Amino acid sequence: MHIHILGVCGAFMGGLAQLARAAGHRVSGCDANVYPPMSEQLQAAGIHLTEGYDPAQLEVRPDVFVVGNAISRGNPLLEAILDRGLPYVSGPQWLAEQVLQGRWVLGVAGTHGKTTTASMLAWILEDAGLSPGFLIGGVPLNFGVSARLGDAPFFVIEADEYDTAFCDKRSKFVHYRPKTLALNNLEFDHADIFADLVAIETQFHHLVRILPSSGLIVSNHQEASLQRVLARGCWTPVKTFNDPAGYYMTGDDADGSLILHGGAGEIARANWALSGEHNRLNACAALLAAEHAGVPLERGVAALARFQNVRRRLEMRGEAAGVTVYDDFAHHPTAIATTLAGLRRKVGPEKRILAVLEPRSNTMKLGVMKERLAASLTDADRVFCYAADLDWDAAAALLPLGDAARVETELDELVSAIVTVARPGDQIVVMSNGGFGGIHERLLRRLSAAGN
C-alpha cells in the first residue's frame, strides 16, 4: 500500500509514517514546516518529504491519503482530495486498522507526563525482553526513535485527547482500544477544542467505556478529575498509584534514589538519572502498567535505573561562555512550573535560572492560561517571553514579575536581550512545543562569540 500523509512532521503523524514504513508500506508525506528532529527520522527511514500542500501532490497517486489533525478545511491539498472524491482516512483510524488490530495496546493518557510515562513503560517492557512496539510523542533516548513496530503482542502508545481529524472530532485515543490504560492526571487544556474540564472528562469517560473487563486501568488516586471520570462508569479493574494506602514512590533528588512502596511496605529500590516528584509519579504509573503485561515490579524498578529520559525533557543542548542551555517541551503553566522547579532542585539556589518561553500551543495563544503564567515562572530569576503571534498582552500577564520579565516580538531581539544579561553559571531553559526558530543554537553561537 502507498500512503501519502498530510501533516507528516507532527509527532504523531511522523511516528505513524515510520510504523507504516517498517510494516512494508510505501510512504510519502508533506507538511508546512519540515524541521528536526522529526524530519531527520523520516528521511533516515526513506520517507520522501514535500514542503507545503500544493494540489499537484495528487499526482503522487497513493492508495490512500492519511490526514493529520493539523489539517483543516481550506487546506489546498485537502480541498483537492475532497473535490476529486479520492480515498482518505484519519491517522488514528489508519493506525488502529493497520497496526494496532490484534495487539495488546498499553495506552498512557493525561494532561501531563504522557510522553515520559509511555517512554518509561516501553523501556521497562524492552528491558524485560518483550520487544514492544510503540508510538510516542517524543524521542526516548533509550531507543533513539519515536516509533517502532516491535514484536507482537505489546504496543505502547501515547493516548492523546486531542481531536482525531477534520472529519472526526472524537479524541484520538478512542481509536486505540487499549487493554492497559494509565491515567496520569487531568486538568483543563486544549481550549481551542474543549469548552471546559467537564468536556475533557467526557472524552476520558468515552475512553474508559471501551476498555475490556480483562484489562486494567492504572489511575492517579489524588486526581479528583480522574475519580469523577471513573465514577461515571467503569467496567475494568482499577489499580491506583499516588495512594498512601497503596502504591506510591519516594526518592531523593540529591542521591538519585527511587523507592517503590506498596500496601505492605517497600517493594524495590534503585538509583536513576531523573528527578522530581512528577517523574516519580510517571514511574509508578509505568511500573503498574508493565506489571499488567507480565513484568514483575522489582524487575521494572531495576529497569528504571537504566532509563535515559526523553529528548526535549530538560535536555541539555550545550554550554557556552559558562552558560548552560536546556530545551524543554513545557507549554502549559503546570508543566512550566514543574520544569522550573525540577531545574531549581538540580542546580540549587546559588545559580540563576533564565526562563525563555514561547506561548505557542493553541491554548496559550488563546490566552486562556495567561492569569496563571506569572505564578508558573516564579522559580526563574529572569523571564524572557516571545510574543510574536499572541492576541493578548504578554507584558501585562507577566507584570507581577516586575523587572525580572521581558517580552519581545522579534526573535533576534529576544536572543540579544538574553545574551546581554547572561553570565557564567547561568542556566537558560527554553520552553516551547515547537522548534522556536532554532533559538537554542542561536543562543549558543551568540554566547560563544560574546565569550571570546
- Structure confidence by residue, pLDDT tens digits, 278-287: 899 999 999 9
Options 3.40.50.620, 3.40.50.720, 3.30.1780.10, 3.40.640.10; CATH for 2-93 is 3.40.50.720
Class of the CATH domain delimited by 315-451:
alpha beta
Contact 377, 410 (CB under 8 A): no
186: amino acid identity, one letter: L
pLDDT of residue 24: 93
pLDDT digits (tens, 9 = 90+) for 123-164: 999 999 999 999 998 889 999 888 999 998 999 999 999 899
Which has more confidence, 313 or 206? 206
Q: Where are the beta strands (DSSP E) in 42-162?
A: 48-51, 64-67, 88-90, 104-109, 133-135, 147-148, 154-158
Mean of the pLDDT values across residues 362-368? Answer: 73
| Span 264-274, pLDDT tens digits | 899 999 999 88
Nine cell digits for residue 308: 535515559
- Tell which CATH classification among 3.40.1190.10, 3.20.20.100, 3.40.470.10, 3.40.50.720 matches the domain 102-304: 3.40.1190.10
- How crowded is residue 238: how many other Cβ atoms within 10 Å of its Cβ? 15
The pTM of this model reads: 0.83
Q: Which helix H or strand E contains 77, and what residues bound it?
A: helix 76-84
- Contacts of 187-192 spanning 24+ positions with Cβ under 8 A: 187/111, 187/112, 187/225, 187/334, 188/368, 189/111, 189/332, 189/363, 190/161, 190/162, 190/362, 190/363, 191/362, 191/363, 191/366, 191/368, 191/369, 192/362, 192/363, 192/366
| DSSP characters over 261-319 | EETTEEEEEEE-S--SHHHHHHHHHHHHHHHHTT--HHHHHHHHTT---BTTSSEEEEE
The better pLDDT of the pair 437, 326 is held by 326
Instruction: Read off φ and ψ for residue 349, nearest 5 degrees.
Output: -80, -15
Give Cα separations from 23 to 89, 208, 248, 447 (angstroms).
Answer: 18, 29, 39, 45
Cβ neighbours around 342 below 10 Å, total: 23
Greatest distance between any 2 Cα atoms in the chain: 65
Is residue 247 within 8 A of residue 285, CB to CB? The reply is no
**Average confidence (pLDDT) over 348-360:** 90
Query: All 3 cell numbers of residue 333?
Result: 503553566
* pLDDT score recorded for residue 348: 84
Residues 7-34, mean pLDDT to the nearest whole number:
92
Least confident of 196-210, 328-342, 405-419: 328-342
Contact call for residues 115 and 146 (beta carbons, < 8 A): no
- On the question of pLDDT at 313 being above 80, the answer is no
Radius of gyration of the chain (CA): 22
Report the pLDDT value the prediction gives residue 200, as an integer from 0 to 100: 93
Residue 439 carries which side chain, given as an amino acid letter? Answer: I
Q: What is the pLDDT of residue 181?
A: 98
DSSP 21-35: HHTT-EEEEEES---
pLDDT for the residue 113: 87
Backbone φ and ψ of 303, nearest 5°: -65, -35
CATH 3.40.1190.10 placement within the chain: 102-304
> In angstroms, rounded to a whole number, what is the distance separating the alpha carbons of residues 258 and 255?
9
pLDDT category, 452, cuts 50, 70, 90? low
pLDDT in tens, 37-84: 678 878 888 999 999 999 999 999 999 999 999 999 999 999 999 999
When the pLDDT of each residue in the chain is averaged and rounded to a whole number, the result is 91
Where in the chain do CATH 3.40.50.720 domains reside?
2-93
Mean pLDDT calculated for residue range 187-194: 77
User: Per-residue pLDDT tens for 213-248?
Assistant: 999 999 999 999 999 999 999 999 999 999 999 999
CA distances, 97 to each of 65, 103, 173 (Å): 15, 11, 14
Q: Give pLDDT, residue 391.
A: 84
Q: Residue 451 — very low, low, confident or very high, per pLDDT cuts 50/70/90?
A: low
Q: Is the pLDDT of residue 368 over 70?
A: yes
Asked if 346 and 368 touch (Cβ cutoff 8 Å), the reply is no
253 near 280, Cβ under 8 Å?
no
Q: Which residues of 42-59 are buried (b: 16+ CB within 10 A; e: fewer)?
A: beebebebbeebeeebbe
Mean pLDDT of 377-396: 89
Q: Give ranges for CATH 3.90.190.20 in the chain.
A: 315-451
**Residue 194 burial (10 A CB sphere; 0-12, 13-18, 19+):** buried
